[in-house]
């Protein structure tokens, strides 16, 4: 699975305005809802937040991947946000988050959901990519960076 296939610049928010974890999740859900990718904005926000309460999605190295499955979503969708200031996500390494990938999928799409989580985690093991993401000034720059990184890895 390629992120470039499911992530477009209109689903990226740079910078995120939110200053906390809940606000960042809500802001990214709004990005997807405004584009018609999810049908129940508040239901998705609650589903993601409930998942976040079970265990943090702050995976370390300044990355968070909040995610949920919902009947309010017909296909796998992804939004990315880069906050102006790092956000405390209660990450496993105790470090604040600088890049947030929000993943939502239909309830019956377990395979693609897990595959997308694995792809995001895998490409973000590259410390140079993580550093570059925090330096981008626009959604178009971030999209180009991710596409180039994936192309180089193939």
Residue 63 — left, alpha, or beta (φ > 0 → left; ψ -120 to 50 → alpha)? beta
DSSP-derived letter for residue 75 is: S
Quote the crossing angle between the two packed helices 139-153 and 110-123, to the nearest 10°.
90
67 is catalytic: yes
Rounded Cα–Cα distance for residues 7 and 73 (Å): 15
| CA-closest candidate to residue 29, choices 93, 72, 62 | 72
Q: Which of 67, 113, 143, 149 is catalytic?
A: 67
Report, as residue numbers or ranges, the catalytic residues: 67
């Amino acid at each position: 699975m390629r992120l470039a296939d499911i992530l477009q610049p209109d689903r990226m928010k740079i910078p995120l305005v939110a200053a906390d974890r809940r606000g960042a999740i809500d802001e990214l859900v709004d990005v997807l809802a405004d584009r018609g990718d999810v049908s129940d904005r508040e239901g998705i926000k609650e589903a993601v937040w409930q998942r976040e309460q079970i265990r943090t999605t702050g995976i370390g190295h300044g990355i968070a991947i909040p995610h949920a499955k919902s009947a309010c979503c017909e296909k796998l969708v992804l939004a990315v946000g880069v906050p102006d200031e790092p956000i405390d996500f209660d990450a496993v390494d105790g470090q604040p988050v600088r890049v947030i990938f929000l993943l939502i999928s239909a309830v019956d799409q377990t395979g693609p959901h897990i595959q997308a989580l694995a792809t995001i985690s895998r490409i973000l093991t590259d410390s140079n990519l993580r550093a570059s993401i925090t330096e981008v000034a626009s959604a178009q720059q971030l999209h180009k960076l991710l596409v180039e990184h994936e192309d180089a890895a193939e």
